[in-house]
Amino acid sequence: MTTGIKGIRLRKAVAVTFTAGAVFATGALTAAPAQAATAPSVSAKGAFMLNSATGSTLYSKYADTKRPMASTTKIMTARVVLSTPNLNLDRKITVKQAYRDYVAAKGASTADLKTGDKVTVRQLLHALMLPSGCDAAMALADTFGSGTSVSARTKSFISKMNTKAKDLGLTNTHFDTFDGNSTQNTNYTTPRDLAKLTRSAMKYSTFAGIVKKQKTVQYATTSSGGTRTYTWYNTNKLLGSYSGATGVKTGTNTPAGPCLVFAGTRNGKSVVGVLLNDTNRFTDAAKLMDYAFGASSAGTMQLRTLPQGAQRD
């Protein structure tokens, strides 16, 4: 970490560079004429926002450029599970040691699922979307994929993710992982595609109900028949910070940078937005929602603080 006055000046210089870059890129922006205010500049390398009801474009910055998207991948993980025929959300899944081993090997975000615990599909979806549990992602892929081994089933599930992308018309999206931890560098999407995917996912009441929660407390049965309490906090700091925020998912890793898929509703108008590789993702999301809603909340927004020990993503 850089410290001292020089470090402060350096950070300021970097901030100015990003701002200037965002202003320069405004030629790539498209705004709906309904917005009275000037379209804001954002630090994201790619951004997109749409009207949830109509699907119309509200904001666009390099919206069709392919980029890695880190854990926002898990939106598709949830979408595939929720579209499973005859889905039983209360079906119980036994946590395997392989899920914990995977997280440890990757140094990935985790819901800290304990081996032998029995958790429901609904609980796994909470563990996937709030603390961004890669163990939960693997559990869902292992459960809803086909094959005779964990490896075969997770590969099968990833294939289902790509099939669903084609079904949804996401022509610039490809998955090689169930959680965003790509090993082949072929896990990518575009801001437009990711917004379209999220708009589709938000039509599921289960998904929409989960991603708007700041926190959840869940109870699972242990291998010995006891009860374990899981407390998961949502890594999306917009929730509880920006009035009207309703989701959706954070994502951060080295290839992708900080990413955010956000959603919000005010006065009957709902939007979904995407920011890929954005060092100011929460503030920029607030600026974009202000733009959509004709509001001015971003400047005074105080971000919710995550408790010590909570996952960051």
Known catalytic residues are 71, 74, 132
Token pair of 206 as six digits = 């289960």
Q: How far is CA 187 from CA 161, 175, 180, 276, 285, in A?
A: 11, 4, 7, 13, 23
Token pair of 303 as six digits = 């971000």
Beta-carbon count within 10 A of 156 CB: 15
Going by C-alpha positions, the residue among 143, 131, 123 that lies closest to residue 81 is 143
Going by C-alpha positions, the residue among 218, 53, 63 that lies closest to residue 128 is 218
Residues 6+ apart with CB under 8 A from 24: none
Residue 245 forms beta bridges with which residues? 264
Long-range contacts, 24-32 (Cβ 8 Å, 24+): 25/61, 25/62, 28/60, 28/61, 28/62, 29/59, 29/60, 29/61, 30/57, 30/59, 30/60, 31/58, 31/59, 31/291, 32/56, 32/57, 32/58
Alpha carbons 144 and 91: distance in angstroms, whole number: 12
Alpha carbons 100 and 91: distance in angstroms, whole number: 21
Contact 176, 158 (CB under 8 A): yes
Token pair of 70 as six digits = 């880190």
